Amino acid sequence: MILKGMAMTWIVLHNYFHWLPGLGIENEFFFNEANFLDYIDGVLKGFKSTLMYSFAYFGHFGVQIFILLSGYGLHAERKNKEGFNYPVYFLGKARKLAILLLIGMIFAFLVRYISTGEWVSAASFLQHLVLRITSIANFQKQTVFDVAGPFWFFGLMIQLYLIFPAIYQAMKRTSPVFDTCIIMALSIINALLYPWLHAHDVPMMALFIGQMPVFIFGMALSKHGFKTNRHLLISSVILFILGQRHEVFFTSTFIALSYILVHSYALTRDCFKKHLPSFNLAFGYIGSISMAIFIINGPLRTLPLFKDSQGEKLNPEMFLTFTAILLILSVPIAHIYTYLNKLAARKT
């Protein structure tokens, strides 16, 4: 829960700050070398600017923690079970995603109505819902972001849920070294695929192939545990830095930073538990309602209340108000999600 809370905090800060004037600089789905140069310029403007530019540029990596934890959790859940029923497994996971997606889409279109006064037709709502739960929307740049929010993530998770059992079977007897080699091989394949997919406006990082290295890393952590490795850490840092300036390394920055974050967490976890218990409590609580925060923080920021005087970008002075409203709304939505999940589970 603590890692979930930290990842969710990164995502919220990123989602708000990268909509501030001049801060849409992240290399999240597509690489642009100029974005890193803009980030460096922003860092040189002072401490406050450094924080804002850093979350705008790097905050989206919080999503990788969720993907890593998904791989970890699925493997941990599967390895403790004797039998495996694929339809029961997949329908259970898809049901939870569908409920969360439905709540998020209702919230998104309600916010759109408050902002514009226009209702979305039932047919249009259903179309958006189907395109995302089937992950069809994830295959084109034009459709993956046509609704403000994290809705591309649902299509990605459906894909990962579909292929997880096959990956699990393939990894049953593999060693840590072999798993590391597979992750490296996938990273090389992604580096080769990215330019071609980019040229055809296919957002590779919204598809399972782009996130496979991080997902498998999470599974490997569940299977083998984690041991700090100085050579892998140094290699990851170098790879991450190179990925900010050179397109060929761009897709590898996601697995590189994931390793750096896990390494850092392993070294500091006990220190935080001992000396900063309130830190753990705060992020643990955020983690417990993270799914609700995840689905509403994107649509919520589109309200005119948070816009600047031009009505195009967000107002930095409204961030604390935005955060307060976000947390207040997330608590009941988290309870609604939990209730609907339990209700659906009883009827299936």
Per-residue pLDDT of 208-222, as tens digits, reads 999 999 999 999 999
pLDDT for 164: 96
Using a 10 angstrom Cβ sphere, with 0-12 exposed, 13-18 middle and 19 or more buried, the burial of residue 101 is buried
Residue 176: closest CA among 135, 219, 235, 133: 219
Interatomic CA distance for residues 22 and 17, integer angstroms: 10
Residue 210: closest CA among 96, 73, 63, 98: 63
Strand partners, 307: 314
Alpha helices in 45-151 (DSSP H): 47-58, 62-79, 86-116, 122-133, 141-144
Decide: helix, strand or coil at residue 145: coil
Q: Which amino acid is at 166?
A: A
Identify the residue whose tokens are 């599967």: 78
| % of the chain with per-residue pLDDT over 70 | 99
Using a 10 angstrom Cβ sphere, with 0-12 exposed, 13-18 middle and 19 or more buried, the burial of residue 20 is middle
pLDDT for 82: 74
Classify residue 338 as left (phi > 0), alpha (psi -120 to 50) or beta: alpha
Alpha carbon distances (Å) from 138 to 8, 31, 188? 22, 17, 22
pLDDT for 312: 74
Q: Are 4 and 287 in contact (CB under 8 A)?
A: yes
Interatomic CA distance for residues 44 and 215, integer angstroms: 35
pLDDT for 269: 78
Delimit the domains of the chain by residue range. Answer: 2-346
Q: Are 188 and 250 in contact (CB under 8 A)?
A: no
Residue 297: closest CA among 18, 77, 2, 3: 18
Residue 215: closest CA among 59, 89, 81, 65: 65
Q: Which positions of the chain have pLDDT values less than 70? A: 348
Using a 10 angstrom Cβ sphere, with 0-12 exposed, 13-18 middle and 19 or more buried, the burial of residue 76 is middle
Alpha carbon distances (Å) from 34 to 25, 27, 65? 8, 10, 26
Per-residue pLDDT of 88-143, as tens digits, reads 999 999 999 999 999 999 999 999 999 888 888 888 889 989 999 999 999 998 88
pLDDT for 25: 84
